[in-house]
Amino acid sequence: MNTAALHSADAARPDHGGPGATSADGPASRRIIVGYGFWIFLLSDIIMFSAFFAAYAVLNGATNGGPGPAQLFDTNSVAIETACLLASSFACGMASLAVAEQNQRWTQLSLLATGILGAAFLGLELKEFSSLVGRGAGPTHSAFLSSFFTLVGCHGAHITAGLLWLGTMMAQFYAKGFRENIQHRFACFSLFWHALDIIWIAIFSLVYLNGTRV
């Protein structure tokens, strides 16, 4: 084999030495791996919430002689919570558009609106929990209330984590600009936030509306 052929073969051989090297038969890029892993995380989260929904459906009538959903839930307050979270999801969508345009001002304003509305939702949820506990309807009173606090409280814990994540995204965009890796992190955050929105719609429909219907 002549020298030219050897150089041609070396050029065609995939390079696995670099940190981001890929090939037809090698590992995928880090962006693909992270994105795939995050979708798996979201699916596992949905499976967990599905289990909580199933537990609530089974224990819905186990009130231990105490009040049930129709006596405890204030649908007007929950409707305001829902409006806050839906508006927060819309603001997050506007932030995605601003990030795509690499507009720092509108990115920060949209993320700030997302955070404020998300915090308002969380505050109303904590107020509801405090009211229920103050009326003697805490999570230890009945199996129904245990399942309710677990389902809704788990969603609230995810919202809290999302708000902390949102704060870090705002800081990273401000300090480092619109780097590709930061935009990928924001895409994961956006998926997470919208998934929580969808889960809340299920909670609002199945727990509150269904529980208080006449």
The tens digit of pLDDT for each residue in 91-100 reads 999 999 999 9
Report the C-alpha dihedral over residues 125, 126, 132, 136, rounded to 10 degrees.
Answer: 160
Pick 98 or 7 by higher pLDDT: 98
Tokens for 121, please give them: 């939702």
Examine the pLDDT at 17 and tell me if it is beyond 60: no
Find all residues with CB under 8 Å of 117, minimum gap 6, and list them.
84, 85, 87, 88, 91
Residue 201: pLDDT band (50, 70, 90) is: very high
Q: What is residue 69's predicted lDDT score, i.e. its pLDDT?
A: 87
pTM of the model: 0.83
Q: How far apart are CA 139 and CA 41, in angstroms?
A: 28
Q: What is residue 32's predicted lDDT score, i.e. its pLDDT?
A: 77
Pick 4 or 144 by higher pLDDT: 144
Reduced 3-state DSSP string for 77-124: HHHHHHHHHHHHHHHHHHHHHHHHCCCHHHHHHHHHHHHHHHHHHHHH
Triad 95, 153, 111: Cα angle to 5°: 10
Residue 122: pLDDT band (50, 70, 90) is: very high
User: Is the C-alpha dihedral spanning 83, 189, 35, 101 positive or negative?
Assistant: positive
What percentage of residues in the chain have a pLDDT greater than 90? 66
Examine the pLDDT at 3 and tell me if it is beyond 70: no
Q: What distances in angstroms separate CA 134 from CA 79, 105, 130, one per listed residue?
A: 21, 43, 6
Tokens for 127, please give them: 């107020």
The helix or strand, by DSSP H or E, that contains position 19, with its residue range, turns out to be: none
Task: Kindly report the average pLDDT of the chain as a whole number.
Answer: 86
Question: Which of 114, 95, 93 shows the shortest CA–CA distance to 103?
Answer: 95
pLDDT tens digits for range 129-174: 999 999 989 999 999 999 999 999 999 999 999 999 999 999 999 9
Q: What is residue 25's predicted lDDT score, i.e. its pLDDT?
A: 52
